[in-house]
Amino acid sequence: MKHGVLLIVCGLLGFALCAAGAERRPFPQHTRYAAGTLKPNAVSQAQLDQSVVEFYRLWKAKYLRTAGPDQLYIFCNAEQSFPARTVSVSEGHGYGMLATVLMAGADPKAQADFDALFRYFRAHPALHHPGLMAWRQLSKGQSDEDHESATDGDLDIALALLMADAQWGSGEINYRAAALKTIAAIRAAECDLQRHTLTLGSWVDPENRCWGGFRPSDFMPAHLKAFAAASGDPVWTQIADTTYRILGEVTAAFSPATGLAPDFVACTADAYRPAPSGYLEGPHDGAFFYNACRVPWRVGTDALLTGDRRSRSLLAPLNAWVEHATGGDPGKINAGYRLNGAPLREDRSAAFNGSLTIAAMIGGPDRQPWLNALWTDLTARRLADDDYFGNTIKLLTMIAASGNWWQPGE
């Protein structure tokens, strides 16, 4: 059956052939997730896989762009949702590297595309930390601010490199060595090793007012566990443990009825709380908005891959609240809420629905109808319904929801 699905997948993409034998973990992977987790079951596994491949084809055609003869990048400004001249951000670059390595086997160009994305990453280093990526690339020129790094993109790039080593082995490009270099650079420039937390990026230091604070959506516990296994460094386990504790305390204190995490957590005298308005990006920095919407996906992935009970505890209130608040209709999920559950504005985004789909997978058997409704809603959304951010989170969460995410080293 798995081979039959693979042939269907190749035909859908219009590929002449699948590079049989080149990948060690080809799509469809059909990962055995942790006990007690769900998958959408209103359609067959073959249909789940088919939906992923069809959307990947559309996403790749729209957002994967050429930069010179041997580099590729993810064009984040196709819908002009970023300031003029912005062409790429490190966050999107990490997403692209994850997508290509996960879709290898269905896409015979995956390794070549991944390598070209890697070369673009290497060609756009953070100014003072060459193992990291500058957070934004412009069509002409870069400011000093653009040369700083953002933690989330670097975390995804590092994990994608570990996955590439597991997928293809290290040959012309030593993926494992590159991953370990990036992991070491994240440790040196994007971690608060005294508190055992991640920081917002290489631009934050103890003199910065944002020191001690972090972006909850940067908390990717399964990534950190992979880094610990690959590097042998216990600091990644310590960061995972500390951040689980802090997020549990913040949501218990400030959003006990909803389980909603804020876009940013601020730290004052080692006391953590939702960031005030204008902390970094705007008036909704302390709300569940376009950063925090990724938390259910990031934390939920840890539950799927490792079965960590802390992820279930953190997401249980959110799962119960969002299904009740929408009356079981995913079409009523808003793109942003105050921590008490009040909608910020009338708007929708696949980034929110996709991430909440992953959370529903760990909600227990009673959540199966809700999960099926979320999947149906997510796959019904057209590429034109969302921008780069919504479409890219949609793709990655569809890969995970269909059972095709996996952990390097396992």
- Residues annotated as catalytic are 91, 152
CA distance 290 to 344: 11
Q: Which two tokens stand for residue 84?
A: 């003029």
* 170 strand-pairing partners: none
Residue found by looking up tokens 């080809």 in the block: 26
One DSSP character per residue, 42-58 reads: SS-HHHHHHHHHHHHHH
CA distance 187 to 86: 28
- The 3 state secondary structure assigned to 296-313 is HHHHHHHHHHHCCHHHHH
Q: Which two tokens stand for residue 161?
A: 């490199």
Q: Phi-psi bin for 114: left (phi > 0), alpha (psi -120 to 50), beta? A: alpha
Q: Which two tokens stand for residue 407?
A: 């952990």
CA distance 181 to 156: 14
CA dihedral sign, ordered 95, 101, 106, 108:
positive
| The total number of residues written for the chain in this structure | 410
CA distance 116 to 253: 45
- The 3 state secondary structure assigned to 232-289 is CCCHHHHHHHHHHHHHHHHHHHHCCCCCCCCCCEEEECCEEEECCCCCCCCCCCCCEC
Radius of gyration, alpha carbons of the chain: 20
CA dihedral sign, ordered 337, 278, 142, 131:
negative
- The 3 state secondary structure assigned to 152-200 is HHHHHHHHHHHHHHHHHCCCCCCHHHHHHHHHHHHHHHCEECCCCEECC
